[in-house]
Amino acid sequence: MQLVTPDECFRFLHGRSTVRIGGRQINLRGAREVALVGPPSEYGSEQNTVWSFPSRGEWATHSADYPGNWSPYVPRNLIERFTTKDHLVLDPMMGSGTTLVECRLLKRNAIGIDINQEAIILANDRLSFTHQNQPLSVGNSVDTYLGDARNLNELDDCSIDLIATHPPYANIIRYGEGSFEGDLSDLSSVTEYVEAMRDVAAEFFRVLRKDRHCGILVGDTRVHAHYVPISYMVMAQFLAAGFVLKEDIIKVQHNTSSERGRWKGLCTQFYKIAHEHLFVFRKPSSSEECERLVLSTIRSIDPRWADE
């Protein structure tokens, strides 16, 4: 991990007005004042396990121009439910910095990491805003790093209060377009991706505090018209790392534009994938608690596992 300061980003940007990510040229806007710093007044925190946001949410500096980024409603809900003011939130695959912007708005400290230097530049650009000429969340720190989610070497054990992240769904969108090593979205197969996510899960488990939460949004795909459950493959890696599953939230997708979600005609051989899984894991307070929770779940399914 290598710390990248806003000043370093601005120096790098000398003479540039765009970054290129996932095959798109994305405009940089520089420091600006924003009018809206939160969702519409009718917004309410989610209370059930199906989330649907027909309007993606474009307050502050949020924008849909980054390919495949998550709606700010998702990290906002996670941050509000699982943290309090001044807690430390980590997004180790931060992309355009949606989670970090929400941390600034909600007065949480944050660390964002990405393996793509272009994403770091864009995230710092999105973080450069004020509201009514006043900087937001004075006293709260937001740091960005160039690094790999499989090696969070600058972070201490049990130092993070919440992990909230939206990783690539294997190689459905190739964010770095093969331009650098270590890009999870550039791996050649789902098998390689799942193996890499095993290392990711182990690092997440290491840095998260006990009894804290990790929220990860993952979607699925099809190969030769058959369903490939990437989400559940990833879930298995997190359970194997020692996490327990707190929530499985279905997030409805709207206006899908990638090959993963397109219809080709009114009638096809398969259904359109229009949902993602938001898994919320918890790091148990001890290995004994983890074992107890796992066994109690198994016993509720199959009474033969009940204690004699």
Q: Considering the domain boundaries, does residue 38 fall inside one? A: no
Confidence tier at 260 by pLDDT (50, 70, 90): very low
Q: Considering the domain boundaries, does residue 39 fall inside one? A: no
Cβ 64 vs Cβ 58: under 8 Å:
yes
pLDDT at 213 over 80: yes
Give the C-alpha separation, 93 to 168, whole Å. 9
Q: Considering the domain boundaries, does residue 37 fall inside one? A: no
Domain that residue 129 falls in? 2-30+49-305
Summarised one tens digit per residue, pLDDT across range 120-163 is 999 999 998 888 766 665 558 899 999 999 999 999 999 999 99
Domain count of the fold of the chain: 1
Average pLDDT score over the chain: 86
Domain holding 84: CATH number?
3.40.50.150
Confidence tier at 257 by pLDDT (50, 70, 90): low
For range 88-94, the mean pLDDT: 96
DSSP E strand boundaries for the chain = 2-4, 18-21, 24-27, 32-34, 50-52, 88-91, 109-114, 129-131, 134-135, 142-146, 160-165, 208-218, 221-223, 226-228, 244-252, 275-282
For range 71-88, the mean pLDDT: 95
Q: Which range, of 22-31, 151-160, 273-282, averages the lowest pLDDT? A: 22-31
Per-residue exposure over 260-269, b if at least 16 CB sit within 10 Å of its own CB, e if not: bbeeeeeeee
